Amino acid sequence: MESTPEHQPLKNFPISFFAIVMGLSGFAIALSKGGEVLGLPPMVGNAILLLAFAVFAAITLLYLMKLARYRSEVVKELHHPIKLSFFPASSISLILFSIATLHIDPMLSKVLWSVGTAIQLAFTLFVMSRWIHHSGFEIQHITPAWFIPIVGNILVPIAGVHHFSPEISWFFFSLGLLFWIVLLTIFFYRIIFHHPIAEKLVPTFFILIAPPAVGFISYVALNNGLDNFARVLYYVAMFFVLLLVTQFRMFTRISFFLSWWAYSFPVAAFTIASMLMFQKTGNGAFYQLSWLMLGLLTVLITLLGSMTINAISRKKICVEE
């Protein structure tokens, strides 16, 4: 029987599915770091990494099928003021895989990093060109998801410093850091002086944690040590965690959407950053915080996975908006 107009899974398959890969790969990296810092068995992180690879392959295949069959729908997403920002989640996923495989297979990591970084730069230039030449974007369209295309460049140095000249990594770090500040300023203007963002996009508030947390990890890799600017980045990330914890009731009132996966990668990034702080300072408070965050991240990923599978089985995802 032919699908109804409302539920045509392939036609309505959203680019935001790649946020799942970011969450799973971030979780895998956190577990791997936990093996190094907290003594966790490496097999757990490796299993999650294999799962992330499988999910990435499946999502990529499905989206390419959508491109072949429903090209106009992909074009619509490329012109959408919010959905546009999720296209670089695919290249960021490759960069995250390069980080996850860095100590498992350095050559594979180098290939993944090279491809992911090249695509990320292309997406950055494309998205910024769309912002410059748009004819319909308005202030209410900006959400923290807008950070993904530009600020995602701040991930590049984590594995990049091991593969090529550090100057390349400094280029991407500088780009990500600068536009994090620019977009953060615009976003706070938007939420203070304009209407609240739509309910289904509320989870994207967690993306606020990611730039300073990832920036801290990248800066430590570039600087090969901990200094006061690194501390600034880490504690800004910690402040956003605390700020969002105080908004707990706001998050519990919203229905499940695929956007809930926006919770996952930022929490993983702060978890990894906390482990790195413990490594660099030897402060036991960061050791305890690392365990707490890793426990929360595990519960979160488990919850998101089960709710996503349930939503797919009930045909609540891949529906026409």
Q: Give me the pLDDT at residue 195, please.
A: 84
State the DSSP code for 5: S
Q: Give me the pLDDT at residue 317, please.
A: 79
- Residue percentage of the chain with pLDDT more than 70: 97
Mean of pLDDT over the chain: 91
Q: In the Cβ-directed half-sphere of 77, how many Cα atoms lie within 13 Å? A: 21
- pLDDT-derived band at 66, boundaries 50, 70, 90: very high
CA 90 to chain centre: 10
Q: What is the pLDDT of residues 302-314, one digit of tens each?
A: 999 999 999 888 8
Two tokens, residue 135: 């004819």
Count of Cβ atoms closer than 10 Å to residue 200 Cβ? 15
Q: What is the pLDDT of residues 90-119, one digit of tens each?
A: 999 999 999 999 999 999 999 999 999 999
**Whether pLDDT at 230 is above 90:** yes
pTM value? 0.92
Q: Which of 63-77, 99-113, 240-254 has the lowest mean pLDDT?
A: 240-254
Residues 220, 276: contact at Cβ < 8 Å?
yes
State the DSSP code for 227: -
- Average pLDDT of 141-157? 90
Complete domains list, the chain, with CATH: 15-313 (1.50.10.150)
